[in-house]
Structure 1
Amino acid sequence: MPFDGPHRPEPNIVGIGVGLAVVLSMIAGMTDAVGFIRSRDFVSFMTGNTTHLAIAVGQGLWREALPLLLLILGFVLGNTLGGLVVILTRGRQTPLLSLVTLLLAAAALVSPANALSLPALLLLVLAMGASNAGLQRIGGTAMSVSFVSGGLSRFGIGLAGWLMGERRSGWVIQAVPWIGMLLGAILGTELELRAQAVALWVPCAAMGGLAFLTLALPHERQQGFTTVFSAPSGAGKRRSSTG
């Protein structure tokens, strides 16, 4: 898939980034589906939880509102934790994905087979928040792997430009996390319906396998997927992206 712009990444970097995006978004989809079926709350889709929170507050249902607020705060804390790990390890994916694996394993251990306690939900949102730090961009293209509204928006805007004659094609990659999350959520639903006992262990194992595979990825390649280490050489300040 071609990219356009002054900092066009190598084709193999694009392929690695797409692979990371697919796997991370599929894991997020699996986890979100299992979490939603068991609790009717989201573990990676904070827009949905924010709407639920607003409805609960508007109806005066404070017992429902407080857990939702904790989930949103937990997701933000997870993003912060993931960002700190990325900064402290200078952009390496392996420590971050290993941490996410441990959080998923802890959630699976404290969760009954057919329900989710609040501690388990908080561990899952921490994991999903932290996982976002592992892939924030591919080349010069901002990416979001555990929530896809921003990606779909960028895809639609890119499509508008293409219809008007703009032939840059980097926007097409924005569909990848959506496809991955869709497939992952379908798989997570099947796991929850057919194999509840291992439904949360499957995304945990997948994240652990991905962490192991990143050991083979050179450090400088890993840095290119995180915002804090992807600014062009000589830039006066670090650049950030929105999800």
Structure 2
Amino acid sequence: MDNSVIKTNISVSSHSIKMQERLAIFLALIAGYIDATGLIQWKTYVSFMSGNTTSLGASLSTDKLEIVITSITVIGSFISGIYAGTCLSLSRRIKNQRLIFYLVSGILILYTIIAYFFNINTLSSITIVGFSMGMMNTIVTSVGNQKVNTDFVTGTLNSLARNTAMLSMTNDKAEKAEYQSNAIHLLFLWIGFLSGSFIAPFLLDYFGKWTLMIPALLLMICGILISKINPKN
């Protein structure tokens, strides 16, 4: 094979991994922002299903029906969003792979506008936002060879610790480079989610009912920019 072809493939692969990493961090920041907003406004997580599952189990044993209903609703909505997003990603009829960006953005924008003029109850709110978060979770599923979940903090920290441990235990240079790269990706992913959660309370106080318009517009802009960078998608 021509050396120029090999160099081009390596360059494309490296560029693709960097794009995946930046996009994953960006989505993790948005997930953290929306999750913190949901926790403040509706006292439940809209993307952190580990916490909701714990709440569901504890509430079942203590007969707290309201929390049981809330937990089941948001978990079901989140799963439905992942199902819908995965089906769209795998569909051969849909050529525009950035469609999920626009769908999630559109859902959040429509919800924000309606919620500004009308009072939307908690169950309806977490159903809509939980569904959109599940769908958003299907946009980036890996960075290079490392599987990632942009809103699954427990899994991110678990993978970070495992890759760090394997990095310290191996003597193979290639493996060290791979584990180090994975660990860095996962660390930035966690920092992204943490940063989104950190800024959410400040912006919620400032923007009030319009607070979800911020991640909605960011997703829309990101989808447009990526479409220009990769016109085939």
Q: TM-score range by the shorter chain?
A: 0.7 to 0.9
Structure 2: runs of 5+ lacking an equivalent? 1-8
2:192 pairs, out of 167, 180, 196, with 180
RMSD: 2.3
Q: Determine if contact 1:93/1:214 at 8 Å carries over to the other structure.
A: no
Q: Determine if contact 1:191/1:198 at 8 Å carries over to the other structure.
A: no
Aligned position for 2:102: 98
The code of the aligned residue for 1:153 comes to N
Aligned position for 1:171: 182
TM-fit CA distance, 1:219: 6.6
2:227 pairs, out of 165, 190, 215, with 215
Q: Percent identity?
A: 22
Aligned position for 1:226: none
Aligned position for 2:23: 20
Aligned position for 1:4: none
Q: Is the partner of 2:170 in helix, strand or coil?
A: coil
Q: Is the partner of 1:186 in helix, strand or coil?
A: helix
For 2:225 and 2:34, the matched residues in 1 are separated by 20
Aligned position for 1:79: 82
Matched, 1:206 2:218: yes
For 2:229 and 2:100, the matched residues in 1 are separated by 14
Aligned position for 2:130: 125
Bigger CA radius of gyration: 2
TM-fit CA distance, 1:92: 4.6
TM-score (norm: length of structure 1): 0.81
Aligned position for 1:69: 72
For 2:32 and 2:111, the matched residues in 1 are separated by 16
TM-fit CA distance, 1:138: 1.9
Q: Which moved more, 1:13-22 or 1:69-78?
A: 13-22
Q: Size of the alignment, in residue pairs? A: 215
Deviations 1:188-237 (A, max 9, x none): 121112321321111111111111112124377x6xxxxxxxxxxxxxxx
Aligned position for 1:241: none
Aligned position for 1:239: none
Q: Which moved more, 1:98-107 or 1:111-120?
A: 111-120
The code of the aligned residue for 2:111 comes to A
The code of the aligned residue for 2:217 comes to A
TM-score (norm: length of structure 2): 0.84
TM-fit CA distance, 1:95: 0.5
Q: 1:150 to 1:27 in 2, by over 3 A?
A: same
Q: Which has the higher helix share?
A: 2
The code of the aligned residue for 2:80 comes to L
Structure 1: runs of 5+ lacking an equivalent? 1-6, 223-243
Deviations 1:62-97 (A, max 9, x none): 232112101101100000010011112568541011
Aligned position for 2:113: 109
For 2:97 and 2:135, the matched residues in 1 are separated by 11
For 1:42 and 1:11, the matched residues in 2 are separated by 35
